[in-house]
Structure 1
Amino acid sequence: MSLETDSSDAQSIEYLYLEMDTPLPIPSDIAAPSILNPGPQPECPDLKKYTSPFAWAKSRKSMMTATACSVTALAGYAAGEMGPAAAELTEKWGISNVVYQLNITLFCIGFAAAPMVLAPFSEINGRRPIFIASGILFVASLVGCGGTGSFAGLLVARVFEGIASSTFSTMVGGVISDIYHADDRNTPMSLFAGSALFGTGLSPLISSIIQTRISWRWIYYSHAIAAGIFTVIIYLFFEETRGSVLLSRKARALNKYYEEREKTGYFGVIMSMDEKGESRIIKRIRWRVKSDEERDSLAMMISISVYRPFHMLLTEPVVFFFSLWAAFSWAILYLQFGSITLIFSTNHHFDTEETGAVFAAICVGAILGTVLSICQDILAFRFGTRVRTPETRLHFACVISTLMPAGLFWFGWTSYSSTPWIVPTLAVGCATIGILSIYLAVFNYLADTYHRYASSAIAAQSFCRNMLGGVFPLVTQIMFKNLGYPGASSLLGGIGAALTLVPWVLLFFGTRIRAKSKFASQLSKQLEH
């Protein structure tokens, strides 16, 4: 498809739309008649770096996935690293434990809000600059956390830490979508989700050792060193993955090449006039990219990025209930920062380091959940049931997600001091496997259902997930002390059990529900045509 701006003479420039698979015409070697002494032709730019990320070699994709999942683990690590230092810092700054938990609440607020503003920038400038800038801010905020002398300073630094680390969680899903087609996305997405939960569990485990043997400040300094190393790795090895940005850069490189050729006296490229290529003509062309022309202003993009997720949350039942399900599961994950510490320190008389070791159950659960989710995709492929509709993504979650409420009941009713400590610890791992399956199911289902609106749908659940996750640590001790350990866990387990109905409803009625959805039905009609 072409767009001509001036056809008054043979030397007018014709503007064509460039796609990733557009065959490039051969430049003409004939100099313009008016040029008596044409200069040497400039070299054609290396276009390999603009290759579609979908066509990258498997090794290249694996390296990018490994880097992305590593920084996701670092972001997850940031959530709970403050826990082991609670006793020392509450006494030092004269604050209550509930007030101290505000540092995770403000971290989650920054984590929830930042992606809605950062996403439009990634559409224009690509993901790599956002990753590098976030890495620098992440290191700076961690140093600020470790160096602060007041609780107010810690809160400010934690907000910026949440903003910076949000990139390493929310945008990693986008990176995976950039380089893998939907049918090949389950394994890298499983690794991504597993990394987030693994980092969350690893944080109290490592931080408790540092707190006990060195200093609370080195909890943040050691994290800053690791973050700094990965920021350097991102700068050196992380490549741009957003296809539209690569296509725009490719168009600019080609247009600059054509302009340099014309300065030396060589005009035009050889274009075919028919399908067989028997008739050819020399034309002066320039490339355009549709996504650049269709893109709104930055201010409009930011406003849409903020408005649309909440609009979908309130008008799309699928988005609302999946966001509620994901938010509750994430809140349970963050609630464990307080509940594990409370139960194991009071009923089993664990010290800080021993309590931190219990969080290894989250790491083990994340690993087992990741392996299970990868295996279910392999089995689905083997038996010919691999992704055909969004609902087929839910088979695994319908069963495995029940492990979250099961783990909560298990944890609460085995929390007595007479029960061996390993029993509730195993319950934590069980609940983690369920949380991982929920996270994966929500992300994959929303991506498959809403396509180009998927980022807004995922942003809605991400906002709810992190906001509720930030609130639960504030009420953990109050709830568990007032209701009792079994009672509080049973209440949460009951809510979790009720929410496990969400994937079952969509499994049986998802097609009808999507047909009534304004966004999903419009996209379905567009895909059919």
Structure 2
Amino acid sequence: MADAGINQHPAENSQTSEPISNFHRHGAREEKLEARQQLEIEYLYLDFETQLPTPFRTSTSHLDGSPPPSCPNLKQFTSPFNWTNSRKTMITWLACAATFLAAYAPGSYNAAMDQLTSRWNVSQVVYTTGITVFTTSFALAPMVLAPFSEINGRRPVFLASGVLFTACLIASGGTNSFGGMIAARLFLGVGGSTFSTMVGGVISDIYHAEDRNAPMALFSGAALIGTGVGPLIGSVIAQHTTWRWIFYTHAIASGVVLAIMYLVLQETRGSILLSRKARALNAYYEQLEEAGYHGVLMPSEEPAEKQTVRRIRWKVKADEERESLAKMVRISCTRPFLLLVTEPVVFFFSLWISFSWAVLYLQFGSIPLVFQTSYGFDLQESGAVFTAMAAGALLATVLSIYQERIAMRFGKLSSTPEGRLYFACIESALLPVGLFWFGWTSFPSVPWIVPALAVGCATVGIFSIYLAVFNYLSDTYHRYASSALAAQSCCRNLLGGVFPLITKAMFRNLGTPAASSLLGGIGALLTLVPWVLVFYGTRIRARSKIASELLQQNHT
């Protein structure tokens, strides 16, 4: 019952252990047993590399002849980094399915607008606040809920979020009032936030940094594909049946994924698994002592007769370093905004991705408006245009998986965080290109496929920005990466929820060419962000108190 490697940390106040000797007389054996019973328990730190001891036995049979209790099954506590590739792949796809379902929610809701605005006698802007409410709770909830995954693990938070998410979808389909819909959307955002945003943590739990590009690309692709598929399928359902089935079908899919998750998803957070392993071993040692087997033999190269018998219990350093829940929530809610105002990299990356996310959500209103006005499309036909968004995200996912391998083969990537930005510098320009393209081709005289292709082009640009921000902040801030990523996530979801409220007014007042050109100009200006970091990123990080501190630690 030994793991590979050893990492021992004896307690400071431990007493000298008793040397082993052969027992020739029954009385001597009893004296030795009594001495072992009086040994003080030593608390040692446990990690995944620790070699485990074996129960001590005398050279003859035990005093009462009873065998020691069986050792617990420790395979369930294996480090997630050492899991098989098939197991990691299954968890990655399952987590991406959860991300897809969460991203599906805003666009599918928009497909029910025509039916519900007339049913509840509310304006389109008022109805669109359902998206804003969803994205607001989606942005803020993880800051409060994230610490629970550190204490309780990923799995219970995933399952609880899935239950809440599915229940709110059922409530959305069953409500008979706009107020009920808004309340359901509020809690739907809470469930969807951890159902989606925790996926990045799961990927970090099971993959080392050098292996995360492909799973992170799949995660990013799931988010953008889900955003495009939502209005695509939602419009078909709304065109052929009642609006309620938009939410019921979503709830059925969510329930299926939740059931699969309950059956196959295992805990991925290493510190939680290590704590459970320590508890299992400590319970085993207590059973050994109750059966009369006091003490264990620590792994050693010395002969058995020279080894010592020790009474030990295991503890985990992460449990000791973990703050109280109240303090963890306070840090989770304040540190992201502290980084946002003190770290230029976090600020400008958050601004960059927030704008791109706002453009993504803006298309929920701009695509139906333009294609119904210029080309006479009905609800289902304008919803089908979102196929371009899903296809663009799928194409970008495939490209991002292979482009890093190609670049590393030709030595174009360095070991610095800036090495991940080379492709983003080029591909992010597709966002403003797509916006200009869309604005100046959305005329009845131009085939509808031309502006539809512009949507796909812009989506590829958005994807590259999304993935570049995740990778760069993770590589730069390390243990503060979760706070840096929380800052950008909060900003992009808040801004993403605001833009749908002003989309139709902006496009109608400015006209499609001018409105798209305004957005394209802002996008082009923000495209300078990765270029600045490619050339000056090292110096910028050196001037950052947090990033430079982590950089120095990595070099020591």
> TM-score scaled by structure 1?
0.97
For 2:292, give the aligned amino acid.
Answer: G
For 2:376, give the aligned amino acid.
Answer: H
**1:40-90, CA deviations, whole angstroms, 9 ceiling, x for partnerless residues?**
311111111111111111111111111111111111101211112111111
Match of 2:150 among 114, 117, 123: 123
- Closer/same/farther in 2, CA of residues 189 and 9 from structure 1, 3 Å limit: closer
Match of 2:544 among 500, 503, 517: 517
Distance in 2, Cα, partners of 1:277 & 1:40? 20
Q: 1:257: which partner in 2?
A: 284
Q: 2:520: which partner in 1?
A: 493
- Closer/same/farther in 2, CA of residues 32 and 225 from structure 1, 3 Å limit: farther
Q: 2:454: which partner in 1?
A: 427
For 2:175, give the aligned amino acid.
Answer: T
Q: 1:170: which partner in 2?
A: 197
Q: 1:14: which partner in 2?
A: 42
Report 1:196-215 matches (<5 A): 196-215=223-242
CA deviation after TM superposition for structure 1 residue 282, in Å: 1.2
Report 1:97-496 matches (<5 A): 97-272=124-299, 279-386=306-413, 388-496=415-523
More deviation, 65-74/274-283: 274-283
CA deviation after TM superposition for structure 1 residue 22, in Å: 1.1
- Closer/same/farther in 2, CA of residues 276 and 525 from structure 1, 3 Å limit: farther
Verify the 8 A CA contact 1:30 1:266 in the aligned structure 2. no
Distance in 1, Cα, partners of 2:41 & 2:526? 60
CA deviation after TM superposition for structure 1 residue 31, in Å: 9.7
Distance in 2, Cα, partners of 1:188 & 1:277? 48
Verify the 8 A CA contact 1:408 1:490 in the aligned structure 2. yes
Distance in 2, Cα, partners of 1:232 & 1:55? 26
For 1:170, give the aligned amino acid.
Answer: T
CA deviation after TM superposition for structure 1 residue 24, in Å: 1.2
For 1:390, give the aligned amino acid.
Answer: P
- Closer/same/farther in 2, CA of residues 191 and 15 from structure 1, 3 Å limit: same
Q: 1:46: which partner in 2?
A: 73
Q: Secondary structure at 2:64's aligned position in 1?
A: coil
Identity %: 63
CA deviation after TM superposition for structure 1 residue 118, in Å: 1.4
- Closer/same/farther in 2, CA of residues 173 and 278 from structure 1, 3 Å limit: farther
Distance in 1, Cα, partners of 2:289 & 2:534? 60
Verify the 8 A CA contact 2:51 2:299 in the aligned structure 1. no
Distance in 1, Cα, partners of 2:130 & 2:539? 43
- Closer/same/farther in 2, CA of residues 512 and 279 from structure 1, 3 Å limit: farther
Distance in 2, Cα, partners of 1:275 & 1:118? 49
Q: 2:52: which partner in 1?
A: 24
CA deviation after TM superposition for structure 1 residue 445, in Å: 0.3
Q: Secondary structure at 2:51's aligned position in 1?
A: coil
Instruction: Tell me which structure has the larger Cα radius of gyration.
Output: 2
Q: Secondary structure at 1:3's aligned position in 2?
A: coil
Distance in 2, Cα, partners of 1:276 & 1:454? 47
**1:100-133, CA deviations, whole angstroms, 9 ceiling, x for partnerless residues?**
1100000001100111111100001110000000
Verify the 8 A CA contact 2:17 2:308 in the aligned structure 1. no
Question: Are residues 1:3 and 2:36 paired?
Answer: no
Distance in 2, Cα, partners of 1:282 & 1:380? 55
**1:389-411, CA deviations, whole angstroms, 9 ceiling, x for partnerless residues?**
10001011000000011000000
Q: Secondary structure at 1:81's aligned position in 2?
A: helix
Distance in 2, Cα, partners of 1:508 & 1:111? 35
Aligned residues: 528
For 2:344, give the aligned amino acid.
Answer: P
Verify the 8 A CA contact 1:32 1:266 in the aligned structure 2. no
Distance in 1, Cα, partners of 2:113 & 2:325? 42
CA deviation after TM superposition for structure 1 residue 29, in Å: 2.4
Runs of at least 5 residues in structure 2 that lack an aligned partner in the other structure: 1-8, 19-38
Verify the 8 A CA contact 2:350 2:487 in the aligned structure 1. yes
Q: 2:4: which partner in 1?
A: none
More deviation, 5-14/366-375: 5-14
Distance in 1, Cα, partners of 2:456 & 2:362? 14
More deviation, 318-327/168-177: 168-177
For 1:4, give the aligned amino acid.
Answer: E
Distance in 2, Cα, partners of 1:417 & 1:377? 41
Verify the 8 A CA contact 2:135 2:189 in the aligned structure 1. yes
Distance in 2, Cα, partners of 1:229 & 1:26? 44
Which runs of at least 4 in structure 1 moved beyond 3 Å after TM superposition?
Answer: 30-33, 272-279, 384-387
Distance in 1, Cα, partners of 2:147 & 2:525? 36
CA deviation after TM superposition for structure 1 residue 467, in Å: 0.2
Verify the 8 A CA contact 1:5 1:13 in the aligned structure 2. no
Distance in 2, Cα, partners of 1:341 & 1:5? 72
Q: Secondary structure at 2:229's aligned position in 1?
A: helix
For 1:412, give the aligned amino acid.
Answer: G
For 1:240, give the aligned amino acid.
Answer: E
More deviation, 366-375/454-463: 366-375
- Closer/same/farther in 2, CA of residues 512 and 351 from structure 1, 3 Å limit: same
Q: Secondary structure at 2:312's aligned position in 1?
A: strand
> TM-score scaled by structure 2?
0.92
Distance in 2, Cα, partners of 1:278 & 1:500? 70
**1:192-216, CA deviations, whole angstroms, 9 ceiling, x for partnerless residues?**
1001100110011111111111110
Q: Secondary structure at 1:434's aligned position in 2?
A: helix
Distance in 1, Cα, partners of 2:276 & 2:255? 29
- Aligned CA-pair RMSD: 1.7
CA deviation after TM superposition for structure 1 residue 442, in Å: 0.2
Verify the 8 A CA contact 1:267 1:284 in the aligned structure 2. yes
Distance in 1, Cα, partners of 2:303 & 2:13? 27
Distance in 1, Cα, partners of 2:65 & 2:193? 54
Q: Secondary structure at 1:286's aligned position in 2?
A: strand
**1:137-161, CA deviations, whole angstroms, 9 ceiling, x for partnerless residues?**
0110000100111111100000111
- Closer/same/farther in 2, CA of residues 91 and 276 from structure 1, 3 Å limit: farther
